[in-house]
Structures are given as C-alpha cells and as structure tokens.
Amino acid sequence: MTDQLRLMAVHAHPDDESSKGAATMAKYVSEGVDVLVATCTGGERGSVLNPKLQGDPSIEENMHEVRAKEMDEARRILGVKQSWLGFVDSGLPEGDPLPPLPEGCFALQDIEEAAGALVKLIREFKPQVITTYDENGGYPHPDHIMTHKISMVAFDAAGDPERYPEAGEPWTPSKLYYNQGFNRARTVAIHEALLARGLESPYEEWLKRWEEFARPDRNISTHVPCGEFFETRDRALLAHATQIDPDGGWFRVPMDLQREIWPTEDYELAKSRVDVSLPEDDLFAGVRDA
C-alpha cells in the first residue's frame, strides 16, 4: 500500500520545506511513500542571513541560481522530489508605512489564475495528502499567505472536471493539513526543559513576541512521531547555507532533549474527505483504510 501513497508539501520558498515538516517527509520517504515538494517561488529576494556568507557579490548577484542549488541539495538529503511553480519571490516588506510589493511578484498574482499551476501539479502527482500554511502563513510573509490561498483553491478545484480543464485529468486529494510545527505548546515545553537543565533557551524572545501578537492557539490535530529523522531535517536545513546560520538558534537545543520533550512534528487538519478520528499520529490516517 505504501508505494501508492503520495504526499505533497506546498511551500513558499526554498528552505521552507526544511524548516517545516522536513522530518515528517524523511520519515514517510523511509516508509516508501512518494513525497513531492512544490516550491512556489525561487526565493530570489531573500537576504543572505548567514553572516559567514554576507557581502559575497557572487551570491548576491546570482541569488536565484544559488538558492536553486541549495534546494537541490536539501531535496537530495530528504529523499524527496521537488517542483518549482515558477512564481517570483515577493520579498518581505519592511518599514512604516510598508512599501508596495514589487510588480509581478507572487503575492500580487490573481489567486484563481495562480492556483492553476498548483492544480496542474496535483493532477500530475496525484497526492492523497497535501500540507500547506494556515491563513496567517505561519508568519505574515506575503508569499506564505499567498501559498495558503492558492493551496485552498487548488485542493477544492483539482478534482472538479469543470475547473481548469487545461490542467489535466481531475484528481481529488483526500486530506489537507496546515503545518503547525512552531506551536506554542511545543515552544513552551522545550523552553522550560532547557531552563530546568540550566541551559540557555533561544525561545525567550519568541514567547515574548507570541504575547505581543496575542494569537489564539491553533487546533493541533496530528502529531507525527519522527524524532529519529531530526538530524536529517537539520542537514537539509543547513544545505540552505545562505539562509541559515549554523551557529544560530535553530541548532541550540540538544537533540536528546528535543526527542525526549517533543519527538513529533505537528499539524492542523484543515480539510478531509475521509473519515478521521482525532487526534492522529499519521497524515495518512483514514487514507490507508480507504
């Protein structure tokens, strides 16, 4: 049965797949599940966040090519397939007031039209399960929010023969999830465990910002056990060398503590066309039986 199971993870930029659900994907790959990452943009407007690589003109002048190579290495490490939807990175606007988004960028596309590229990929790959971002984008980057919007349209439209007839034979995916790996409960649990061991926590500022945003906690429905693949996740993340500081907060939590305190990656079931019983520990729960 596993060689018939297919998972599609829809992400905004190269590196998002390695910071959100990477261990889950590696786990399913190890079980024989076919996994495809759909990357909406090329990450062209991303900044060089690794201080060791900042100021290198060969990187900054060729960001699209550099990030494509990083994505290929992360894909290889995770063992997944990967496709580009071909949209242009919108960048993260900063300032008060915020500047307008760049003309032609992903976040300014017509939602129905942009969803057509994802519908086509869904119909070609035929996933039973799709993961994406919630309505807040996970965080309010315009490309993450746009990724949510086209994912919702495509999930509903892919199985409808009257919509996007040029995009191939209809395929109806069974389940849609929101990535919720950075949920408050997990962050608090690891933060408190670090302090209890007398270690410094990288999450203190995160938790303060959580209070500032005052967002309600999400309805986490699904906890996928994947602790044995956390090293694979981290190696894939480090492959995105321009985006990740190897000495940064991502890697300050000891691996044994992560596995002890929170050995899962977490999701919110947004839509299901199969019967489910919550909470779950498998994205394919209900699909395997069907």
CA atoms of 254 and 62, how far apart (whole Å): 35
Q: Which two tokens stand for residue 198?
A: 């007398």
Mean pLDDT calculated for residue range 122-136: 97
Q: pLDDT digits over 214-272, tens only?
A: 677 889 999 999 999 999 999 999 999 999 999 988 899 999 999 999 999 999 999 99
Section 12-25 average pLDDT:
97
CA distances from 21 to 37, 130, 193, 225, 266 (A): 11, 12, 22, 11, 8
The backbone region for 138, taken as left when phi is positive above 0, alpha when psi lies in -120 to 50, beta otherwise, is left
Rounded to whole angstroms, the Cα distance separating 269 from 175 reads: 8
Asked whether the predicted pLDDT for residue 288 surpasses 60, the reply is yes
What is the structure's pLDDT at 169? 97
Per the annotation, does 11 bind a ligand? no
Q: What is the model's pLDDT at position 209?
A: 80
User: Domain 2-183+219-272 adopts which CATH fold?
Assistant: Rossmann fold (3.40.50)
pTM for the whole structure: 0.96
Q: Helix, strand or coil for residue 199? A: coil
Q: What is the 3-state secondary structure (H, E, C) of 9-58?
A: EEECCCCHHHHCCHHHHHHHHHCCCEEEEEEEECCCCCCCCCCCCCCCHH
- Give domain limits for the chain: 2-183+219-272, 184-217
Q: Hey, is 255 helix, strand or coil? A: helix
Tell whether 16 is in a known binding site. yes
Q: Confirm whether residue 13 is marked as ligand binding.
A: yes
